[in-house]
Structure 1
Amino acid sequence: SIGLWIVSMIRTGSNRNLCMEHIKQLFHILRSYFYPSNDGNLGNFFSLLQRIPEALIERIRFEKLDKYEWLRKDRQPESFIQDSDIEQLVVCMRDIVLKALFSKTLFNDAIKTYQYLCFLRPDLMLPVLIDQVYSSFESNVEPHRYTPLLACLVSVPRELVIFDEKIQNQKHILNLLISVVPGIDLNDLNKLILTFQFLTNILSHIIVLDCSPAIELRNDLSDYEKEICQMTSNFDDFAHTLFDKLFNFVDHLKNDNTSEVCDTVSQANYYSRINSTLSNENVTQVHCVEMFKVLISQSSKQILRLITEKCFKFINGRAFNTKSGDILAYLIGYLVVSGYARQAFELYFNYVYDNLMGFKKLKNFNSLLQNERVDPTILWNLHLFSFLAKTNGPILVQNIDRIKEILQAYRLTTNKECISHMTTCYSNLITSLTKITPKETCSVGYNIIFDDNNNFFTKHLPIRDWGLYIEPKSLNIEYHIPNVQEISTALEITNSVLTDSMTFLRKSILGLYSTKKEDSNSNKFSKEDNYRELNYIYHVVNGASCLLKRPNTQKYVTEHIDSVVNIGLKEEVNKGLGFEADNIKDESHEYFSLCESDRNILLNMRKDLIEFCMKLIEKLVDDKSNDTIMLILLSRVSNLGV
């Protein structure tokens, strides 16, 4: 309120500069109150420090945006904020803010203030901060300065990377990226998280691409642009440095068994796992995975090849536990959906296929799958296999025969972790075959995966697009829509798994819960086998939910769902919900060419599944079963079928 009042008086009255003079005198007097050692009631001064530049930004928006033209209709031009006013305010607050950054309790207000001032005049704020950052990163005398300075950099990524020959901040980007890599250290959690955040924010605003060929191919480059293009040739070195440190980080996690899930918790929760996700409690892994995602989406083909080969050398011949394996699995999962997807998938899938099918040749293979503690190599390869199933549909169709071999070989496992990976694989596999996905996820409106340097760099210069805001409509996003072959493959897998599981459960439930002597030979089926099959059904139906037509015969939705609101015709509600079953009846549509068996699966499988679940539930109720887990799983499957 006070800050807003002060900013509102700028450029008012007969003396337009009087208010700004008072502001400069005010902060000159209050300078000593912003020293890092001051705290307690002095925190109100930090709030004032933040509010003044924030209010100034709001006022500038009101004075410049067209939608607020009615607010300034009768105002004199002299009363508007001038560039000189912004410069004077930034200069008078700059030194105070840079000192306040090191406050132990109120540094968040100072960081926010720095961000606002940087929005106003990055040319005045960033050079001073970058000088302090370099001195802090290179010196071991003042390690306490590292964290607040890095937090400041995290808050202004766009201002750091934006192309501006006057400020010339781009030339510091690669040095800063390499300088923060040593911050990936498990001994300092705060520094570790800030390092991942900085890498994520910067990488999301730049294109990790070697632009040095543009120096010879273009004749319109300034000396500064040539310098930046030459600098980008060192992105390979940055990738090597980053992943060497990250793999060292993964090795530390691999040797740390303190967070391993105990057997009791695993047994209680394995059946409810839909997708392999990182725990929200493990913040470091979440930030690391997010950084991987951004880096891969913003990288060129050359960098993706480097990451793929470097990661493969690291995992080759090794097995990882859940804690460290999740990070690597997510990294590989992002690689197999990137612009280098086909090459990455072939490399890793051949490796996983050879490992998993090699175990099948062992004489004790079946007993291995029944053990409570399976060989860690099997678990790791199944874990990796489940993430490889996230790749693009055409790649999966091309390798579907070998994928089916693995699924068939490990389908009857009773180990809970193996079942968890298998169910994740089924869900990811069917989802990847049926979902509509963007072909390019980069933040610019052109494809950075190319083979012809001459053609690309004559049309584009990525360094000019660093930090540039682009309207979503200008991105020209192209989408991959599943073709008939992908839909047919997904329906085939769905039908195979559901048919096998329902056949198994018909035999098993009858033998397990019947008291007749003639059914005693069915007692070889255990409850764990039943849980496994219901898990397969649940995850397969969940992945294929956009394909299988819902068995609603009512004309109005309100006849099927209790509601006080008249929802309307069922046909209207079904529109736009993914795969429309009516497409198979349209002769002009590609899906009209689906064979009769696929049509039957698409139209009737969900209905058959509901009827099957109802029979199983009736059987359990009649036998007065106390198997709560079985009933829970059946209810979940039934809910998916409705």
Structure 2
Amino acid sequence: MDDYSIESMRDTNADAQETSDYNLQKPNIYNKYLPFYKSIKRHASDLFEEIRENLSRTIQLGELRPGFAVWSNELKRFISLYGFYFTKDDHLKLINFYLSILSITDLSYPDVEICFDTLFDLMRKTSMITRDDLIIDWRLLYRWAQLIHDLHNKTSALVALPNCRMDAIGIIYREFRSERKVRPFWFFIPHETYRLTEQDTIDFVNCIKEYAFISIFNKDHNKEAAEACQYLSMLLPELIVPSLVEQLFSSLDNMTEPHRFTSIIICLTRVARQIVRQTPSYSEGQIYVLPLLMSVLPGIDLNDFQKITVTLEFLDTILKLITCIIREKISDFLSGSFLSPKVRKLVAGLIRALVKGNPIETLKYFLPKTCESIENIMDHADSSGLLIDHKGDIELNWYLILFAEFLRARGDTLLIYKQMIMSIFHRCIYLIHKDSYEAVASAAKHLLKSLSHVYPMEYQLTVENFDEPFVNFLPIRAWGQAADFDNLQIQFHIPNENEIDFACEFVETFLYLELRLLNEKCLKMSNNERLRSLTFIHHIAIGCFRMVPHVDSEKLPNL
């Protein structure tokens, strides 16, 4: 094994130069928008140093098991969280380190798999390393490929080289995209006469699209067909979007083949961005938005779970890409729909999007009505025996689920509803029906997280002000547009004193009440009552976990 890579892994920071963002390979671009970014950078540097030292130590001590697998997994996790938060020099040394491990002749196949998987992660960003930076002896890789191929029927050879295969359409799409966008890659640049032209793009899309359209209704390959349509619509949306929309409208009247509606909705979900966005070459897709939203509503069929799933997913995708106000319709739908447990989760996702997108207006419009409905039902709880009814009330369960979702709103927006919220908890905390007390417990968890956690206040990725008059800005022009991360001005919710006081009051009111109840009457309680109490305590603990200070203690020696 090459000793150079191990030594270089060990003393990379000998010069003790401070690492800045400019000489790092490719850090995770999202991390710089997080609060406490300086502490994140410091933690990333310390963690990478720890990973590097331990990888080197496992080889120096000759103990591949379990250290090599553990710290290789930590490296993969590090790249996932922080990106390539290291210099090019460190990047190359990591690659050479894993190549040197592959030079061990009796290396176990699990370790071979770790090496190839890690090398794939380290080398997949080809723009960061030039030909002059790295030369790999192909014989090393060929030897392992041959061994794996020869032992393909044996259990010990259940390891594969990195699977770099992609669908042909995806590859070609990236080829078109790379030629349209100049990047400092070191790939071979073909002569202009051999480069793809606009006519080549048109011919390619026309050649493939009919096969993709036919495959949409093939149950075995409809997902692949939807992906193909997505890539084709990125190239030339004007040749794909109108045909797909027309097929949807024709499927609505087809009573003999109802599965066609489900298949085409799956495909339209994949091309949603191309439908709603304006581009210099195509903007006509926006005229289909309202007809599509109205035409898919019959897909909310409680008798067909697959149909309602794909329909709600389509609506969720479209509504995330556009701006609209549909409060009245949603209010009527929520007040008259006590849905099955499976469908409730899907509808709750739509409510969650409203709460995150515009918490002030959403709470103002929905929360008082929901709380009033719960209060009206609970007013008859004593006479109907609801508090001790194990069967529960389907209407009450639905409103409690809505109540829990509304408490996901930003903490400061919940303060003005404090009295209303506390009243609901006081009245519903002792419900022993499983669905009811789980909804109440979830509401407690969401409330405490909203009040005490740090999270983004704005989920809008565009910088335009949608409240401006239409003369200054037309919101339709921002539909489906990609975000410019360099111009984002993300603001985070940092709990203020009033929110912390509310959270503490909630915990002191309900947590200690439940603990006293368990301490004094645990043996007298039924199993359902005991489970209700423990569930509520568990969710409160999860919600206020961030408020609990770290336990300071001395490290145990010789571990």
TM-score bucket (shorter structure) = 0.5 to 0.7
Of 484, 488, 501, 1:471 maps to 484
Deviations 1:303-326 (A, max 9, x none): 23x2454246536xxx76756665
Counterparts in 2 of 1:102-251, with a 5 A limit? 102-103=217-218, 105-138=220-253, 145-164=260-279, 166-167=281-282, 168-186=284-302, 189-208=305-324
Query: Judging changes above 3 Å, is the alpha-carbon distance between structure 1 residues 438 and 446 closer, same or farther for their aligned structure 2 residues?
Result: farther
The equivalent residue for 2:111 is: none
**Distance between the aligned counterparts of 1:320 and 1:187, measured in 2?**
11
**Distance between the aligned counterparts of 2:395 and 2:297, measured in 1?**
30
Query: Judging changes above 3 Å, is the alpha-carbon distance between structure 1 residues 481 and 124 closer, same or farther for their aligned structure 2 residues?
Result: same
How far 1:358 moved relative to its partner?
Answer: 1.9
**Distance between the aligned counterparts of 1:504 and 1:477, measured in 2?**
44
Q: Letter of the aligned partner of 1:544 in structure 2?
A: C
**Distance between the aligned counterparts of 1:469 and 1:445, measured in 2?**
11
**Distance between the aligned counterparts of 2:373 and 2:322, measured in 1?**
33
The equivalent residue for 2:95 is: none
Query: Judging changes above 3 Å, is the alpha-carbon distance between structure 1 residues 64 and 358 closer, same or farther for their aligned structure 2 residues?
Result: same
Deviations 1:147-202 (A, max 9, x none): 54444323322222221464322222322332333333355555444433333333
1:344 aligns with 2:365: yes
Deviations 1:275-311 (A, max 9, x none): xxxxxxxxxxxxxxxxxxxxxxxxx4xx23x245424
State, as a whole percentage, how many aligned pairs show the same letter.
27
How far 1:138 moved relative to its partner?
Answer: 4.8
Query: Judging changes above 3 Å, is the alpha-carbon distance between structure 1 residues 437 and 359 closer, same or farther for their aligned structure 2 residues?
Result: farther
SS at match of 2:553: coil
SS at match of 2:511: helix
How far 1:354 moved relative to its partner?
Answer: 3.2
Q: Letter of the aligned partner of 1:436 in structure 2?
A: V
Deviates more, 1:102-111 or 1:337-346: 102-111
How far 1:457 moved relative to its partner?
Answer: 1.8
The equivalent residue for 1:625 is: none
**What's the TM-score, normalizing by structure 2?**
0.59
The equivalent residue for 1:438 is: 456
How far 1:81 moved relative to its partner?
Answer: 1.6
Q: CA RMSD in A?
A: 3.7
5+ residue gaps, structure 1: 1-49, 209-299, 513-523, 565-642
**Distance between the aligned counterparts of 2:470 and 2:402, measured in 1?**
37
How far 1:446 moved relative to its partner?
Answer: 3.4
**Distance between the aligned counterparts of 1:376 and 1:177, measured in 2?**
29
Following superposition, which runs of at least 4 residues in structure 1 exceed 6 angstroms of deviation? Answer: none
1:541 aligns with 2:541: yes
5+ residue gaps, structure 2: 1-165
Query: Judging changes above 3 Å, is the alpha-carbon distance between structure 1 residues 117 and 415 closer, same or farther for their aligned structure 2 residues?
Result: closer
Contact preservation (8 Å) 1:136, 1:145: yes
**Distance between the aligned counterparts of 1:378 and 1:141, measured in 2?**
39
Deviations 1:105-148 (A, max 9, x none): 45554444433333322233334444444444455577665454
The equivalent residue for 2:426 is: 408
1:78 aligns with 2:96: no
Deviates more, 1:157-166 or 1:490-499: 157-166
Q: Letter of the aligned partner of 1:70 in structure 2?
A: W
Of 445, 459, 478, 1:427 maps to 445
The equivalent residue for 2:120 is: none
Deviations 1:405-460 (A, max 9, x none): 33334444555444333322322222222123433333432354x4xxxx432332
1:503 aligns with 2:516: yes
Deviates more, 1:175-184 or 1:485-494: 175-184
How far 1:545 moved relative to its partner?
Answer: 0.5
Contact preservation (8 Å) 2:312, 2:346: no
The equivalent residue for 2:496 is: 483
1:398 aligns with 2:397: no
The equivalent residue for 2:336 is: 314
Q: Letter of the aligned partner of 1:114 in structure 2?
A: C
Q: Letter of the aligned partner of 2:236 in structure 1?
A: R
Deviations 1:23-51 (A, max 9, x none): xxxxxxxxxxxxxxxxxxxxxxxxxxx95
Deviations 1:540-582 (A, max 9, x none): 22211111213x23144x57xxx95xxxxxxxxxxxxxxxxxx
Query: Judging changes above 3 Å, is the alpha-carbon distance between structure 1 residues 546 and 348 closer, same or farther for their aligned structure 2 residues?
Result: same
Of 62, 69, 73, 2:185 maps to 69
1:359 aligns with 2:380: yes
How far 1:494 moved relative to its partner?
Answer: 1.2
Query: Judging changes above 3 Å, is the alpha-carbon distance between structure 1 residues 125 and 410 closer, same or farther for their aligned structure 2 residues?
Result: closer
**Distance between the aligned counterparts of 1:346 and 1:397, measured in 2?**
13
**Distance between the aligned counterparts of 1:354 and 1:62, measured in 2?**
60
**Distance between the aligned counterparts of 1:399 and 1:313, measured in 2?**
20
The equivalent residue for 1:57 is: 173
Deviates more, 1:62-71 or 1:76-85: 62-71
**Distance between the aligned counterparts of 2:303 and 2:445, measured in 1?**
37
**Distance between the aligned counterparts of 2:233 and 2:517, measured in 1?**
65
**Distance between the aligned counterparts of 1:176 and 1:183, measured in 2?**
11
SS at match of 1:456: coil
SS at match of 1:70: coil
Contact preservation (8 Å) 2:371, 2:420: no
SS at match of 1:457: coil
How far 1:464 moved relative to its partner?
Answer: 1.6
**What's the TM-score, normalizing by structure 1?**
0.53
SS at match of 2:425: helix
Greater C-alpha radius of gyration: 1
Counterparts in 2 of 1:96-107, with a 5 A limit? 96-103=211-218, 105-107=220-222
**Distance between the aligned counterparts of 1:68 and 1:154, measured in 2?**
34
